[in-house]
Structure 1
């Protein structure tokens, strides 16, 4: 089961035979006809525990590759079985499974033994890419009077002033060649807590040049070092070796950076074949506010909803036997921040592929069965949305000002940047009522522009009723944002209630 994008998981499963032995044993039971109300949270520290776990998660897993690896391990520990997209899935009949695409796109699902396509799918889709700065394919730049600079590109609208004067680490995927076998392997690196770069701002004393806007190519360039012209030590450090020159990246990136990457990956520079690396804020998240009402952290958009969705699926799976007619899915996507048009983005169709494979296994290659499945399905497009900022009250629509520590927020938009319709709104409200949750509402004012989500893409691709909702956060698209310290726990609770009750609630709406 070798997969170059998932080298950490290869070590956990020695052979395909061993993987087969790890198939979970499921004892099926019918779903209750009446909605089942979510049980109260077990621990009085439940919400703080959820937030603290999230803080550790996002600190230790700064890039999307790390995030997928982390979720994979959690799913393994919860008894889910990995299936490769490159296999036929002929043995996927019932149980708990997950698959990965590109190391940046993951879909996990629970399937009951008696599931019929007329029962549809209860799915949550979210995105796990986050705003970051990408290392350019050729990041080598000329020194400026001894200052060593690094060529980078913005991902999703970064390299603005939010990124100035931050401690930036480096991490991501490194492709390396095994010297003995010649095979190409994937290794993940993470420099945290060590920052390797900073984008320095210009002091206000310089007047107008310090005001901006700043040119992202020439004035938002990370500094990674300084070498004085008369430093023999620095000169010796920069002397290249014949062995290092065998790397195809030799001359494309600063040799000091390649050496640093090699040390993190535990390989020689000559073994480094290719890179997909991010610069990111290394500062760890924390609880804050006089009574710890808030959670302050980087990369909240949209690791918040992704973390909550995976945890809710695991919690649902661990609560008891798999309901016999259940089919619940969580799919996490890459590239939402740049339009989702990639094989690992929402428009790449991983959710649709998972559902189609299951339908084919159980009911044959019937296109009508697949369409019927989606017609009977509900998909939550879970993405962060705008929490009320008290310093800018006038920009928010009245009665659409989400607050912290209340509950998930429905995203609404009359111009269809969000997929929630009136029936979807009523369904979400009923799910919340049954689960003793609260929902909030957000819609942009007419004189502002709306952002977007994966919701409209998924709705149009599948024909399934799709509801846009998620956790509200302050400072969206900043390098460091905030949410309520209870909001992750509240989202996990709501999403688990969704998996429990969605089918019976949808049935009560008939053909709407």
Structure 2
């Protein structure tokens, strides 16, 4: 199936709006997969998977791996698209609220590398997972999100910060990131803490609240902009755009013989070293169990030699206001098609063979393709690509869509690029 670019872009914006946290992203993908006939597996159970079947499994609530098995897995190998569900921002601390000045304030930790100043003066809320004791005493998770604005990081007036336009907007990262939550004055009676507030929203006793993992989220919905709506803006384009494209391609392109896989991990923005991150065993454990269940394990090494892993993360688009930040010959443009990301120090896992492989897939799909190489005098970020390549021994190529303002609370990119990326991924899945 060929993706309609406008439909894919609009669907992406709706997907992000419904997924204000990594836990919500995994839950939405699970719901969509189940509606299309994918069977959810539990890591705690024995697996009965068969050729022709479609399955998915979750770990830690925020990481998900989905896969489809062809008729002869050993014959064609694997095509794995890897992405991540988390985005940089703030996380609510375990002791979250202070109010000694009459204001209830949410205390946060910085998660990953956000552009902190972009969170100022925005309508913010919280979203994630709340753990509580049920009637049997078992600790169970509850997805939680607040649709209405709940928090705010108010800016300091220019009259009190005269150099802000010359020096830039800066916050002291420990003392100036307390988000206004409410009034604790006697006249309002709002002397509750966050457990009491969450219990009210969930309809449970506050004493049952055991803990939480809550991200600060923007409440502004995604939108198009530009003369003809040729651009899109939303939070979490990095990297829900890649999760969305991988999911779209997986469900729309069945493998003939091999195994097609979508692996979406949490914790990429903080290094991936966790049980549900790409640095953990989730992907290798899942692949081992699938191969064992399909009697393909004896051919594991031959299969992996025929396999490709496409590490899908976003890429830095040319920003005309900051030309000094780019190597001009290797600066991709928004709406210019998927980007192959290259780094000689292997911060990206692409080599010449990988670039040739992905360019051929894009040619089959009829989509343009670009290249990104970082400046020598700037430190380069990384992806799950090198991590997964070294752990699995599968040839890996790092790709993504070009975007502006990566790690801002409000990122932007091209409206045609999500459709281009879907078609490229479909071409990768179609060859097995």
Q: Which of the five TM-score ranges fits, normalised by the shorter chain?
A: over 0.9
Unmatched segments (≥5 aa) in structure 2: none
In structure 2, the partner of 1:84 is 42
The offset of 1:199, in angstroms, is 1.0
State the Cα distance separating 1:475 from its structure 2 match. 0.4
TM-score (norm 2): 0.95
Match of 2:86 among 129, 133, 146: 129
Structure 1 residue 40: Cα displacement: 4.5
1:105 to 2:63 alignment: yes
- Give the greater-gyration-radius structure (CA): 1
Give 1:495's aligned residue.
425
1:296–1:482 contact (8 Å) kept in structure 2: yes
Counterparts of 2:170 and 2:387, CA distance in 1: 33
SS where residue 430 of structure 1 aligns?
helix
Partner of 1:274, secondary structure, is: strand
CA distance in 1, matches of 2:337, 2:399: 10
Q: Look up the match of 2:377.
A: 447
Distance change in 2, residues 1:53/1:206 (3 Å): same
Give the Cα separation in 2 of the matches to 1:131 and 1:150.
18
1:357 is aligned to 289
In structure 1, distance between residues paired with 2:377 and 2:296: 50
CA contact (8 A) 2:97 2:194 kept: no
Counterparts of 2:68 and 2:355, CA distance in 1 = 25
Q: Number of residue pairs matched?
A: 429
Q: Do the aligned partners of residues 159 and 270 (structure 1) sit closer, same or farther apart at CA in structure 2, a change above 3 Å counting?
A: farther
- Pick from 415, 418, 421 the counterpart of residue 351 of structure 2: 421
TM-score normalised over the length of structure 1: 0.80
How far off is 1:395 after superposition? 2.3
Partner deviation per Cα, 1:214-233 (whole Å, 9 max, x = no partner): 211111211111234xx44x
Q: Counterpart in 2 of 1:65?
A: 23
2:152·2:180 contact (CA, 8 Å) conserved in 1?
yes
1:158 aligned partner: 114
Compute the displacement of 1:149 (Å): 1.3
Conserved 8 A contact 1:159-1:216: no
Q: Give the counterpart of 1:471 among 398, 401, 404.
A: 401
CA contact (8 A) 1:133 1:159 kept: no
Instruction: Tell me, in whole angstroms, the C-alpha distance in 2 between the residues paired with 1:433 and 1:67.
Output: 31
Q: What is the RMSD computed on CA atoms of the aligned residues?
A: 1.8
Q: Work out the CA distance in 2 between the residues paired with 1:379 and 1:290.
A: 37
Could you tell me how far 1:311 is from its partner in structure 2? 0.9
The partner residue of 1:203 within 157, 172, 179 is: 157
1:19 maps to none
More strand by share: 2
CA distance in 1, matches of 2:70, 2:250: 14
Superposed displacement of residue 438, structure 1:
1.1
1:330 corresponding residue in structure 2: 262
Q: Secondary structure at the match of 1:399?
A: helix
For residue 70 of structure 1, give the secondary structure of its aligned residue in structure 2. Answer: helix
Residue 330 of structure 2 aligns to a residue in which SS?
coil
> Residues of 2 paired with 1:386 and 1:75: CA distance?
30
CA deviation string 1:252-283 (max 9, x = no partner): xxx24333312322222122222111111111
Cα pair distance change 1:468/1:213, threshold 3 Å:
same
Matched, 1:48 2:6: yes
CA offset at residue 314 of structure 1? 0.5
- The answer to whether structure 1 residue 182 and structure 2 residue 137 are counterparts is yes
